[in-house]
Structure 1
Amino acid sequence: MNNSFCTILSKERLYQSIALFFSLYEVMDDFCVFVLCVDDETYSLLTKINLKKIILIRIEDLNDKSLYSLRKERKLNEFCWTLKPIFIESLLCKFSSINRITFIDSDLFFFSSPTLIFENQPKPSILLSKSEVYVPSFPPEFNNRIQRLIGHYNSGFISFKNNNISLLCLKWWKIKCLEKCSDTIEANSFGDQKYLDLIPTYFQSVSDIKTPGVNIGHWNYAKHNFRIIDQKCFIDDSRLICYHFSGFRIMSKDDIIQLYELRSIDSPFIYSIYKNTIKKIIADILEIAPYFNGFSNAEDMTTSILKINP
């Protein structure tokens, strides 16, 4: 099974996930996305919509009763982060036909096909996304401090071949996340992400993604130039493959904010493309399921990164 992806989804990210799926429809023909639904509302609505190439999985399908008690102990974002290695491992073990699976956060959006990533680097078992912190309004020492605290990789795009190296790595990552997966930034941990710094040291056949234009986000977009050439989106001199719209919160059908950039005035033009796409999706969902509420709640508006001041 080629071009296999997976994501974890709560109702607060459902509108964004549909934007993600539609963006994949635009840039790829042959793919599938396994979606772990963490609440009944998400599963029910996606079942009703019945999107092609989307395979829905419920928490109970993982056959791990300990996850129910874990949900009571951890905030929703922490719980979803904890599920990441568990879900990826379960898919590789269950579906031997999967050659490689790539986890994609539900707030990613694709502008061109990601197959180039795997064509450029067919050998590594594990591909990691670098997330260089570059915010020019902050002093360099503060950028470096943030980098050290949150880690050098972003777990919103991470890819595993279906082999023993990947399974050993996922088992290790799962154990670490079960031990601790908090959104409180500490010296040696931050969610599921800071652990990724150790993967190249502990495991063989691991590589940073070399293809440009992958998993750019609010943490480094100011480093790049965005432009349209022949109706295609470019970043610097390369095609933009995917942008990570991390921190976007949908407050209502007419109000979408960026939690990390409340005062930003120089956001790339793709923000408008994304917001317009989300608003169209909300309108369509209201027609299909007027009862559904996928807007952000109070818990969804909290983040530790905002508590760090330069």
Structure 2
Amino acid sequence: MASAYCTVLSKGRLYQAVALFGSLERVQDSCSIFTLCMDDDTYQVLQKMNLKHVTLVPVTALENDALLKLKDTRDKSEYCWTLKPIFLQAVLNSNPHLERVTYIDADLFFYSDPSRIFENQPDCSVLLSRGDIVIPSFEQEQIDMLQRLLGRYNSGFLSFKNDQAGNDCLKWWMERCLEECKNAPGEGKFGDQGYLDYMPDLFPNVCDITTPGVNIGHWNYGKHTLSQQDGRILLEDGNPLIFYHFSGYRIVSINEIKQIHETTRTDLPFVHELYQKMLPHVIRTVEKIDPAFNGFASKDDNK
């Protein structure tokens, strides 16, 4: 199947994105990654890196008068989220041969080939990642409240087939994000993510991803036990970990890489240690290509 991945990227997430690109290229030979660059620095650095499977699109190529007006009313996160479905639609419009587009957040990291996700559910027009919260230290009342505010799904990985239902659903999501895309949790709405809850009821062939090892992150790793065997990372049932979502990382410097979620927890899976050891190598690689580039977060960046 001819398919492509898409991500929206600003310079504060570039180091993680370079790690993402490398991880996906290692597990899937023929991957194609369209990247919407939200600033000139991101575009210029990635252009210099000349990554084999990455197609760069400057945000100016997507923006029109209506979006520029909207840009003035939304913060950086809100504007990036707003552009996600617009970018997916633009990639489909420019590449009509594609049978599927899949959005991936820049802070994902792949450990095995994600193609099986699509192969396991070939009849689904839209594939959504469950965002069920499983945090052992939280009371059930806290978890229920967070679930209502954040939604049942996580928008860091979702896929649309280039068919009628997939295109209708993508168009609907785009329209909703243009109407409102607030960077504040609220029942039924949270950025671009809250809208995903409505998709299964509004459109046919919208499916929860059933393949194990997908989109594990700080909100749900409590229900998994990861292990390493023969160079592979496995779940407790022996299935491979396909990708982990390293949400909440802030790279302040090459020597300071912090987590802003559940900062008092000491039970993070060992993949976090591996990820933290790898990121300085990515930073050095970028520095060699463009010594002037600064993709570091500020010390008080907790958003």
Which residue of structure 1 lines up, in the alignment, with residue 215 of structure 2?
215
Q: Secondary structure at the match of 1:73?
A: coil
The letter of the residue matching 1:66 is A
Task: Give the distance between the partners of 1:126 and 1:299, measured in 2 at CA.
Answer: 37
Deviation at 1:201, TM superposition (A): 0.3
Deviation at 1:300, TM superposition (A): 4.3
What TM-score comes out, normalization by structure 1 length? 0.95
CA contact (8 A) 1:111 1:241 kept: yes
After TM superposition, the runs of 4+ consecutive aligned structure 1 residues lying more than 6 A away are none
Which residue of structure 1 lines up, in the alignment, with residue 256 of structure 2?
255
Deviation at 1:62, TM superposition (A): 1.8
Task: Give the distance between the partners of 1:176 and 1:209, measured in 2 at CA.
Answer: 23
Which residue of structure 2 lines up, in the alignment, with residue 58 of structure 1?
58
CA contact (8 A) 2:8 2:35 kept: yes
Task: Give the distance between the partners of 1:199 and 1:192, measured in 2 at CA.
Answer: 12
The letter of the residue matching 1:91 is V
The letter of the residue matching 1:226 is L
Task: Give the distance between the partners of 2:298 and 2:89, measured in 1 at CA.
Answer: 30
Deviation at 1:284, TM superposition (A): 1.4
Q: Which runs of structure 2 are paired with 1:1-310 in the superposition (5 Å)?
A: 2-237=2-237, 238-297=239-298, 300-302=301-303
Q: Secondary structure at the match of 2:29?
A: coil
Q: Could you list the per-position Cα deviations for residues 63-110 of structure 1 after superposition, in whole angstroms to 9, with x for gaps in the alignment?
A: 523222222221111111111111111111221111111100000000
Which sections of structure 2, spanning at least 5 residues, go unmatched? Answer: none
CA contact (8 A) 1:2 1:31 kept: no
The letter of the residue matching 1:34 is F
Q: Secondary structure at the match of 2:8?
A: strand
Task: Give the distance between the partners of 1:281 and 1:64, measured in 2 at CA.
Answer: 34
Q: 1:298 to 1:78 in 2, by over 3 A?
A: farther
What is the aligned length? 302
Deviation at 1:175, TM superposition (A): 1.2
The letter of the residue matching 1:127 is L
Task: Give the distance between the partners of 1:195 and 1:295, measured in 2 at CA.
Answer: 31
Deviation at 1:50, TM superposition (A): 0.6
The letter of the residue matching 1:272 is E
Deviation at 1:186, TM superposition (A): 1.8
Which sections of structure 1, spanning at least 5 residues, go unmatched? Answer: 303-310
Task: Give the distance between the partners of 1:70 and 1:50, measured in 2 at CA.
Answer: 32
The letter of the residue matching 2:24 is L
Deviation at 1:223, TM superposition (A): 1.1
Task: Give the distance between the partners of 1:169 and 1:300, measured in 2 at CA.
Answer: 34
- Counting aligned pairs with the same residue, the percent is 47
